[in-house]
Amino acid sequence: MIQKFTLTVNGKSHTVNADPDMPLLYALRNELGLNNPHFGCGLAQCGACTVHLDGQPARSCITTMSAVGDAKITTLAGLGAPDKPHPIQTAYIEEQVPQCGYCINGWLMTAAAFLRDKKKPTEAEIKDALSGLKCRCGTHISILKAVKRAAEVMG
């Protein structure tokens, strides 16, 4: 049965009518036009759909509307702005990481939360934190460099 949900996304309140079992990803992309989170696998296996719920990375492809509750949602669009990018966004540009770009959302959202909580991480800790993400273009070496660069800035 369709229900009315109030979502707080990037500091703004939105009303969405949806099935309680519908993935949050569909509401963000199809109802609100927030297209940074991507549909990759739909099975919580790639991370392309990652958003923050109350600051914690969550895979929006398997997060149902009813599971969101009152959590504040942040998408990549809320992480940084072109005139004030997040350090991980700046590092991605400086290291020239992107290839096709499909996976970027997941890496940036996951790394941003990790670097916020973990200062001066080791390489092993970075790899562990990002181990659940996939990039079919094989940019992993560049990603690691970018996260290290951002870690220095955020340390």
**Coil, strand, or helix at residue 31?**
helix
Nearer to ligand FES, 103 or 146 (CB): 103
Sign (positive or negative) of CA dihedral 32, 36, 59, 84: negative
C-alpha R_g of the chain: 15
Cα distance between residue 86 and residue 82, in whole Å: 9
Q: Does 154 contact ligand FES by CB under 6 A?
A: no
Tell me how far, at minimum, the Cβ of 135 lies from ligand FES, in Å: 3
Nearest distance, CB of residue 138 and ligand FES, angstroms? 8
Exactly one of 18, 135, 146, 147 binds ligand FES (CB under 6 A); that residue is 135
Q: Should residue 130 be labelled a site residue for ligand FES when binding is judged by CB under 6 A?
A: no
Residue 26 near ligand FES by CB under 6 A: no
Which residue lies nearer to ligand FES by CB, 128 or 152?
128
Q: What is the C-alpha separation between 11 and 8, in angstroms, rounded?
A: 6
Closest approach, Cβ 58 to ligand FES, in A, equals 10
13: helix, strand or coil: strand
Among 16, 24, 28, 46, binds ligand FES (CB under 6 A): 46
Residue 118 token pair: 């973990």
